[in-house]
Every structure is written in structure tokens, then in C-alpha cells.
Amino acid sequence: MPLVAEVRSLTILHTNDLHARVTALDDGRGGFAALAAVIRKQRVQCSDCVLLNAGDLVQGSPISTVFHGLPVFEIANLLGFDAATLGNHDFDYGWIEARKFIHTANYPIVSGNLVGAGGRLFTPKPYVILRVNGLRVAVIGAMTEELSTLSTPKLMEEWHAVSVIEAARKYAAALHDRTDLVVLLGHINHVEEDRFLSQATEIPVLVTGHIHGGLEHEVSRNGRVLVRVRGYGEELGRLELAVDTEKKAPVSWTWKRLPVDGREIEPAGDVAVQVNRWEDEVSKQVDQPVAVSLRHFEPSEIKRLIEQAMRDETGADFAFINQGGVRDILPRGQLLVRHIWNIMPFDNRVVFGKFKGRDLPLVVLGDQKVHPEREYTLAVSDFTAANQSANEQLRSSGLRFSGDGGLLRDVLVNWFRKKGVIE
Ligand SMILES: [Zn+2]
């Protein structure tokens, strides 16, 4: 304990939802080598800096899909994280792979509410105490309670998220006397963010992820502050805090979002070498032309393209893909297999079943009329089928999809190839 109360500075650099976007995006932003350069520039002569990552490091690019995420963690070891938590997508290759991520990372990965049978923790520790600028900063990891509908029982087996607020508050209370500041590093949704701000008075600083849209400005309530940046490595967050060691809370702060753009900063050479090494492994497979796009497509339009592809390729009457399953835009111009992998990095399969008109989910029908007694074929992804009752999915229960239409990504590549021109 410091002998007298004092105010000390702390700078939290932070990222979230990097989603394996190791190379620059189509618009030139992002890329791990440029991100590393921005981070390193911020850390020069910074004696009070820590770097946190709020989960979903993997899933989103071919090297992640092909090698099940591990290369992304290897490259991320060059970014200099001090602590991180896991996101729902870090379980997309199964919990055993997520365990490998924890062992591969050269920084602690913490989560306070991811548990298995008997309540034992998935990560080695629920929190880590970082020592920086004379401060003891506790970083508690947290996973959204939605995890079960964002994953499948096969991937998670016994592992699940328990009450995120309860767990984090329990650890925060226990850490109070041993630390100068408690930070929540949460991969959580909007509702959970709001609950933390309104209820968790023991936790004055929240660094979050899961929602890919960054905040315009930090959110604050009663002297507590929450920050989150855009996903895919487009931004690095920089939260400068003046921490009162008696109150164990910040007395003031400023927050900046620093753009990551390899055209404005020299990308880090050592990171670029590793990125290129892994990219070379998959390039032959994914840098092949599939079609030409006459315009830019937003994810909401791509959802419709994917549903059309699913209908065309399987002969189904209806198709559905959840909007959250569409992971990228399509740029105008030459489309490569890589672009299809970027919009659909998941190894999801197309499945289909026959259902009476009266049993078809409303979200699938839209304003189309069907005969209640006639049978129709509906194609969805196996992920949708497994989570059909979720809000973002079919909001149905008990629909059985016994037909298998193959890997959704392959279905899309075939469809784009046949189309040739997308307009
Ligand atoms: Zn997430």
C-alpha cells in the first residue's frame, strides 16, 4: 500500500475483435504490422502504458480458418500485450484449440466467468495484477453470457459462461485491498456493458470488445469509464487515466482512438515477415479469381447474396443466414477466393430440411405467401440449425435439418464462379 494517497497516471492501450485480420483491409486500414507500428510508437518513452486485448483474436481470415487460429496467436505475440481475455470466436475451433491459444500467448489470458463442471475456471487465472508506474492494476477477464448461443455444445462441451456481473464483482471486491485500480477486460454485449456501468461500482474502468463498432466517445457514469474501439485492427485505443490511489478510481481521463493505417506509418518489419510467412501458406489456395463485382456490397446485401447462393446451389425454396454470420464487405472489382473466405471464415455447413408452410419461421418468409400444408425446402447453416431459437436466428424450435449441402464457403465459391459478374 502506498503510505499516502496520491494521484498516479496510467495509460491503457487497447484493441478488441482483431479477428485474424493480419493483413490490411481492402481500404488499406488495419493489418497486424501497421498495428504493431502504432502500438510501438505509443509505447516509446511511455512509462505508464499497458496494452490489453478484449477477445476475438481469431476467426476472420484464411490463415485462421486453415490453421485453426494458432498462427494468429503466434503473430500477436509480437504486439506486446500485457493481458487479454477470450472472445466467443476464440472457441470457434473448439475448446481444446482455445487452450492451445492460452499456452501459445506470451501474455496472460484471463477470464473470471468461463467455467466447467464444478465451477473450475477455463483460464489459469480469472485476473492478473499488472504493476505499472507504481500502481497495482487488476485486470479481470469476462465473457458474455450469450456464449452458449454464439457457440455450439460440440465446441464447448462442459465449458460455459456464468453470470458475468456476479463473477467480476466478486473478484473486484476480493482485489480491493490488494490493488490500486480494478479494470474489467470484457468480451461482452451492449446490455452487459450497461449493467456493469450501472451496477458494478467496484469496477471503475471497463475495456470491452465483442461489438465491432467502436465508440465515438468514451461512456462514463458516476466517475466510471468504458471504452471500446472498432474491430479488425482499424484503431488502437489510448485511455489516459489519473488514478487516485485512495479512491482506487480515476479522477480524470482522456480517451483517443488512433487510426491504424499502413500508408501513414511504416509497418513493423518483424511482424510483416511473420504475416507474410503464414500468408504464403494459404495464398495459392485463396488468391484465385472467382468473379468481378460491379459495386461495393455491404454485409446486409451480402446476406441476401449468400441466401440466393444457398437456394441456387441446393435447390431450396428458402434460405436463411444470420446477419452476424456475414463477416466482411465485398469490394468493387476483382473478387478472389480470399474475399469469400473473409465474408465466410467459418467452417459452417449448409443443411436443409422439408417443412410445411405453416412451420416455416417468419424471418424466413418475409412477405412471401406460402400454403400452410404444402412442403417447402429450407436451407440454413448448421450453426443456425443448432441455435435456431436465438433472436438473431430463426426463433424456431425443433426444426430438423437432415440434408447436408456441403461446406457453406465452398457453396459460395462455386456460386460466385458460376455467376462471374456480381451486380
Ligand atoms: Zn465476440
What's the pLDDT at 4? 65
Please give the CATH architecture assigned to the domain spanning 7-278. 4-Layer Sandwich (3.60)
| Ligand 1: centre distance to CA 17 (Å) | 7
How far does the centroid of ligand 1 lie from the alpha carbon of residue 185, in Å? 13
Q: What is the pLDDT of residues 21-64, one digit of tens each?
A: 999 999 999 999 999 999 999 999 899 999 999 999 999 999 99
CA dihedral 238, 244, 248, 252 (to 10 degrees): -40
| Cα 143 to middle of ligand 1, angstroms | 9
* pLDDT tens digits along 173-200: 999 999 999 999 999 999 999 999 999 9
User: How far apart are the CA of 3 and the centre of ligand 1, in A?
Assistant: 41
d(CA 206, CA 379): 40
DSSP string, 135-194: EEEEEEEEE-TTHHHHS-HHHHTT-EE--HHHHHHHHHHHHGGG-SEEEEEEE--HHHHH
Instruction: Read off the amino acid at residue 351.
Output: V
Express the helix, strand and coil content of the chain in percent, nearest 5 each. Answer: 35, 30, 40
Among residues 401, 408, 413, 245, the alpha carbon closest in space to that of 325 is found at 408
Distance 209 CA to ligand 1 centre (A): 7
Sign of CA dihedral 154, 156, 161, 162: positive
CA 211 / ligand 1 centre spacing (Å): 7
The topology (CATH level 3) of 287-422 is 5'-nucleotidase;  domain 2 (3.90.780)
Looking at residue 6, what is its pLDDT?
92
The residue ranges of the chain whose pLDDT is under 70 are 1-4
CB atoms within 10 A of CB 270: 11
Q: What amino acid occupies position 244?
A: D
Query: What is the length of the chain?
Result: 423
Question: What's this model's pTM, rounded to 2 decimal places?
Answer: 0.91
Q: How far is the CA of 112 from the centre of ligand 1 (A)?
A: 16
E strand or H helix at 379: strand 375-381
Task: Provide the residue type at 364 as one letter.
Answer: V
Q: Using the mean position of ligand 1's atoms as its centre, give its distance from the Cα of residue 200 in Å.
A: 21
Domain-wise residue ranges, the chain: 7-278, 287-422
Structure confidence at residue 3 (pLDDT): 52
Question: With the CA atoms of 194, 90, 282 and 39 taken in that order, what torsion angle do they form, in degrees rounded to the nearest 10?
Answer: 60
**pLDDT number for residue 5:** 78
Distance from residue 295's CA to the centre of ligand 1 (Å): 29
81 C-alpha to center of ligand 1: Å?
Answer: 19
Q: Which residues contact residue 391 at a Cβ distance below 8 angstroms, ignoring those fewer than 6 apart?
A: none
**All residues at 6 or more sequence positions from 82 whose CB lies less than 8 Å from its CB, including other chains:** 50, 51, 52, 107, 130, 139
For the chain, counts of helices (H) and of strands (E): 14, 20
